[in-house]
């Protein structure tokens, strides 16, 4: 049994039931106000912490200051990132792969995180990006009609393109529409399926005997884009390395993929894991597209953003102004501060807010106002960019084509 197989056997999703935190691709819950214990999660999943040594090497090789998601530990864990940096140092190419499960007409702020990071990585490394829209998954799990799932995928694709990606090096596709026209994709799905037993897939994903076989057969669909031969129109016959930025709840799919890939002649995909973007009500769970009051959507107006934050954002402040001035607030549980860590790029300003709120000098209302100002600008910019993404623009991004990938052997 390989080391990866041992991890798959021992680090199943069901193990989360023995811990305080539950982390699966479909559910994220913590019993404490500070949210998920990510250090414990690293140990349980068997990944590696993104440490200062890795960040220093990243900056030395690329000449770029690490993204604030890296500096602040928002992307906190990895698998084989040193391998990717070795490739970059040697002038050898790789590609990025991430995805989105379209379950709502509009994405919310939490959905932006991997795409903001992918855009930055793509610019730094000058590599192609593959974006998988798992409309098939949402049709299965959410019981959405296939036609409706495809429509949601198209709407979400426009949100993704609005993050600033360029068509010259970005391919976006719907599983329900693309796989049937790409034999290589289906062939790799079968190759992966042949390598994973029924007991393994039950152990990794927690499937039960009453789950539809559609759920059991889905994981290879998410795994296939991590193999470059899935896209011969991009990579030709090159067995290229893949880097997957994603939230850590998606890691079980790629633990499976990393075990299978070498057995079918491909390198293991590397991963970078992000923390979860917390719900307005607190860090015990992640923001959800199915609960409007937990989320700021990219279609929300400036007034809606203001009202949601003022009404629903969980406060780390004290019960009265007098107590707050005396004791100070708790940034570890305050949602306004936690969200500012994601969207306020100015490190000095963020530190001023942390010190001021912790000391009691800054009140909860003032912190909320700071967040409202930041988010209104982020969402307004996104809405302006999205308004320029026409149906014709979308079709260009979703058209199978050569992205200029060149191997330097």
Residue 28 is part of a domain; what is its CATH number?
A: 3.40.50.620
In a domain, 403, yes or no: no
What's the average model confidence in pLDDT over 86-97?
96
Same domain, 175 and 116: yes
What's the average model confidence in pLDDT over 127-154?
96
In a domain, 207, yes or no: yes
- Looking at every residue in the chain, the average pLDDT score rounds to 91
Angstrom distance (rounded) from CA 332 to CA 26: 25
Contact predicate 278/285, CB 8 Å: yes
- pLDDT score of 268 more than 90: yes
- pLDDT score of 26 more than 90: no
Angstrom distance (rounded) from CA 246 to CA 244: 6
Owning domain of residue 219: 3-279
In a domain, 225, yes or no: yes
Q: Give the percent of the chain with pLDDT over 70.
A: 89
Radius of gyration over every alpha carbon of the chain, rounded to an integer in angstroms: 21
**The predicted structure's pLDDT at residue 409:** 44
Q: Is the pTM of this model over 0.85?
A: yes
**The predicted structure's pLDDT at residue 288:** 59
Same domain, 171 and 144: yes
In a domain, 285, yes or no: no
**The predicted structure's pLDDT at residue 37:** 87
Same domain, 193 and 317: no
Contact predicate 169/128, CB 8 Å: yes
User: The sheet that has 270-274: what strands, in order across it?
Assistant: 48-49, 75-79, 270-274, 241-247, 94-100, 129-133, 170-174
- pLDDT score of 74 more than 90: yes
In a domain, 404, yes or no: no
In a domain, 252, yes or no: yes
Same domain, 168 and 202: yes
Same domain, 275 and 364: no
Lowest mean pLDDT among 13-17, 92-96, 218-222, 331-335: 13-17
Same domain, 91 and 180: yes
- C-alpha torsion 259→97→251→297, nearest 10: -160
First to last CA, the chain: 32
If pLDDT is split at 50, 70 and 90, which confidence band does 199 have?
A: very high
**The predicted structure's pLDDT at residue 168:** 96
If pLDDT is split at 50, 70 and 90, which confidence band does 9 have?
A: very low
Same domain, 214 and 319: no
Closest CA to 275 of 73, 65, 11, 118: 73
If pLDDT is split at 50, 70 and 90, which confidence band does 15 have?
A: very low
Same domain, 270 and 338: no
- pLDDT score of 283 more than 80: no
Same domain, 82 and 130: yes
Number of domains into which the chain is organized: 2
CATH number (domain holding residue 354): 1.10.240.10
**The predicted structure's pLDDT at residue 6:** 43
Triad 338, 152, 272: Cα angle to 5°: 45
- pLDDT score of 20 more than 80: no
What's the average model confidence in pLDDT over 121-146?
96
In a domain, 102, yes or no: yes
**The predicted structure's pLDDT at residue 35:** 76
Same domain, 311 and 371: yes
Tokens 């040193």 -> residue: 82
Report the Cα 357 to chain-centroid distance in Å. 29
**The predicted structure's pLDDT at residue 408:** 52
Report the Cα 51 to chain-centroid distance in Å. 19
Tell me whether strands 129-133 and 22-23 are parallel, antiparallel or unpaired: unpaired
In a domain, 400, yes or no: no
Angstrom distance (rounded) from CA 402 to CA 235: 8
Same domain, 55 and 177: yes
**The predicted structure's pLDDT at residue 290:** 55
Angstrom distance (rounded) from CA 308 to CA 321: 22
What's the average model confidence in pLDDT over 21-34?
68
Same domain, 221 and 308: no
- pLDDT score of 12 more than 50: no
Report how far apart, in Å, the C-alpha atoms of 326 and of each of 323, 330, 367 are: 5, 13, 17
What's the average model confidence in pLDDT over 97-103?
96
pLDDT digits 0-9 by tens, 146-159: 999 999 999 999 99
User: The sheet that has 22-23: what strands, in order across it?
Assistant: 22-23, 28-29, 282-286, 278-279
What's the average model confidence in pLDDT over 340-351?
97
**The predicted structure's pLDDT at residue 262:** 98
Last residue of a domain, one of 227, 249, 279: 279
**The predicted structure's pLDDT at residue 29:** 72
């Amino acid at each position: 049994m390989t080391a990866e197989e041992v991890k798959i056997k021992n680090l199943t999703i069901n193990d989360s039931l023995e811990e305080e935190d539950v982390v699966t691709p479909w559910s994220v819950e913590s019993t404490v106000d500070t949210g998920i214990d990510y250090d414990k999660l690293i140990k349980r999943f068997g990944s590696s912490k993104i440490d200062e040594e890795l960040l220093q090497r990243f900056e030395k090789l690329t000449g770029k200051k690490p993204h604030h998601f890296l500096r602040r530990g928002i992307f906190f864990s990895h698998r084989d990132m040193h391998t990717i940096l070795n490739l970059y140092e040697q002038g050898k190419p790789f590609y990025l792969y991430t995805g989105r499960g379209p379950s709502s007409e509009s994405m919310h702020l939490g959905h932006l995180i991997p795409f903001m990071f992918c855009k930055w990585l793509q610019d730094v490394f000058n590599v192609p990006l593959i974006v998988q829209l798992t409309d098939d998954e949402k049709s299965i799990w959410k019981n959405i009609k296939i036609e409706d799932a495809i429509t949601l995928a198209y709407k979400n694709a426009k949100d993704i393109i609005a993050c600033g990606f360029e068509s010259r090096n970005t391919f976006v596709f719907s599983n329900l529409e693309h796989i049937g026209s790409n034999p290589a994709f289906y062939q790799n799905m079968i190759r992966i399926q042949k390598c994973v037993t029924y007991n393994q897939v039950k152990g990794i994903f927690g499937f039960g005997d009453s789950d539809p076989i559609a759920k059991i057969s889905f994981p290879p669909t998410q795994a296939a884009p991590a193999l470059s031969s899935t896209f011969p129109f991009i990579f030709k016959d090159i067995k290229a390395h893949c880097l997957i930025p994603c939230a850590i709840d998606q890691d079980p799919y790629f633990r499976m993929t990393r075990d299978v890939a070498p057995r079918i002649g491909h390198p293991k995909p590397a991963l970078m894991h992000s923390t979860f973007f917390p719900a307005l009500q607190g860090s015990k769970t992640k923001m959800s597209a199915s609960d409007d009051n937990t989320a700021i959507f990219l279609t929300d107006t400036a007034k809606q953003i203001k009202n949601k934050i003022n009404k629903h954002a969980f406060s780390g402040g004290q019960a009265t102004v007098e107590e707050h001035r005396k004791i100070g607030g708790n940034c570890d549980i305050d949602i306004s501060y936690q969200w500012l860590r994601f969207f306020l790029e100015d490190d000095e300003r963020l530190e001023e807010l942390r010190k001021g709120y912790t000391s009691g000098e800054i009140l909860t209302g003032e912190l909320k106002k700071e967040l409202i100002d930041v988010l209104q600008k982020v969402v307004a910019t996104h809405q302006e960019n999205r308004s320029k993404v026409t149906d014709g623009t979308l079709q260009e991004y979703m058209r199978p084509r050569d992205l200029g990938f060149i191997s330097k052997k």
